[in-house]
């Protein structure tokens, strides 16, 4: 099967990106909602910077793309160690940085 090429453009105001150190993930039967937020030390509230809504199929594609890119990154730069030394367990909530829920 031949892979299709797609041109992607990015507006200058989006090109710099947005830093996020917190993601909250929720889902319903038809969609996944990922809120990217930033929480600062001493702050009682995290501000959502972006909300991404995806179909379950596209969410799984994103998962595979992230796994592929993490494997390539670790092959080039070495293993990424989580600050608390724990490895995520499928179905668990990620401490501090990520959460899960149901929309």
User: Tokens 């199929």 label which residue?
Assistant: 57
Give pLDDT tens digits for 29-81.
Answer: 999 999 999 998 898 899 999 999 999 999 999 999 999 999 999 999 999 99
Give pLDDT tens digits for 10-27.
Answer: 999 999 999 999 999 999
Give the number of other Cβ atoms within 10 Å of residue 31's Cβ.
14
**What is the three-class DSSP state of 76?**
helix
**Cβ proximity of 26 and 100 under 8 Å:** yes
**What is the three-class DSSP state of 85?**
coil
How do the domains of the chain map onto residue ranges? 20-100
DSSP 3-state percent helix, strand, coil across the chain (nearest 5)? 25, 25, 50
What whole-number distance in Å separates Cα of residue 95 and Cα of residue 92? 9
pTM, two decimals, is 0.73
């Amino acid at each position: 099967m031949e892979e299709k090429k797609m041109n992607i453009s990015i507006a200058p105001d989006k090109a710099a990106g947005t830093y996020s150190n917190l993601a909250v993930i929720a889902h319903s039967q038809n969609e996944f909602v990922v809120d990217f937020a930033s929480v600062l030390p001493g702050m009682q509230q995290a501000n959502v910077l972006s909300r991404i809504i995806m179909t379950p199929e596209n969410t799984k594609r994103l998962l595979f793309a992230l796994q592929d890119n993490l494997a390539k990154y670790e092959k080039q730069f070495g293993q990424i160690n989580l600050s608390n030394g724990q490895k995520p367990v499928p179905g668990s909530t990620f401490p501090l940085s990520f959460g899960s829920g149901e929309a």
